[in-house]
Amino acid sequence: MTIRLKLLCHASTPAVRAPAFPADEPLDVQGRRKLAALPHRLLRADRWVTSPALRAMQTAEALNIDAAVAPQLRDCGYGRWAGRAFEAVQAEEPEAVAEWLRDPASAPHGGESIQDLTERVGDWLEAQSATDGTTGALTHAAVIRAAIVHAIGAELRSFWRLDVAPLSLARLNGGDGRWTLVSLGPTNAESTE
């Protein structure tokens, strides 16, 4: 049995544009506009799940997708950095940011490390082996990166080498404990930002 997953990154938010560590913020105007242009053929799936975050649930609502909430698909926990501009955090805590970017097991912000995130997402991926057909998931760039790193067995440091823009779509196929990255790219509803 082949498991098919479509991982769709939520539409853009103010944190994406800043850039900032996301909090539970709503979609921005541009994100909502691009959702209207999303090709409906991408939305075909036997079932949909969504992160519990406002931005993911608003993306599902705008696409008229009835999605069950999957807590494992929540964004990375950024601790005390959540909602703050990357530049401001880097100016105040340059060593902590450098450590976080260098060491996937590090969580100087008091939240979740990239290693912990990848393990959580990997557990969710492996649990999908009991599903049949295609599952669509509305989630976050960090979750999609973690899923790809887990799926292809890449080093955790590879997490930072994957660019996942708002409304990017990753397709993974799996079976027998083995995953393949089928594709990663824009949905044609957005351009590089």
Which of the four pLDDT bands, split at 50, 70 and 90, describes residue 10? very high
> How does residue 38 score in pLDDT terms, banded at 50, 70 and 90?
confident
**Residue 191: pLDDT band by 50, 70, 90 thresholds?**
very low
- Is 156 among the domain residues? yes
Reading the block at residue 79, the tokens are 């601790």
Higher model confidence: residue 113 or residue 177? 113
Whether 104 is covered by a domain: the verdict is yes
When divided into structural domains, the chain yields a total of 1
**pLDDT tens digits, residue range 42-95?**
789 999 999 999 999 999 999 999 999 999 999 999 999 999 999 999 999 999
Q: Categorize the per-residue pLDDT at 188 as very low, low, confident or very high, splitting at 50, 70 and 90.
A: low
Whether 134 maps to a domain, the answer reads: yes
Fill in the DSSP letter of residue 146. Answer: H
Spatial neighbors of 10 by CB under 8 A, at least 6 apart, are 27, 31, 51, 53, 55, 56, 58, 59, 138, 139, 140, 166, 167
Residue 62 lies in a domain: yes
Instruction: Give the span between the Cα atoms of 9 and 100, in whole angstroms.
Output: 23
Distance between CA atoms of residues 170 and 148, nearest Å: 8
Chain mean pLDDT for the chain: 92
Helix, strand, coil: what percent of the chain each, to 5? 40, 20, 40
- Does residue 192 belong to any structural domain of this protein? no
Question: Could you tell me if residue 193 is inside a domain?
Answer: no
Q: Measure the CA dihedral 123/124/125/130, to 10°.
A: 110
CATH of the domain at 58: 3.40.50.1240
Identify the domain containing residue 75 by its residue range: 3-185
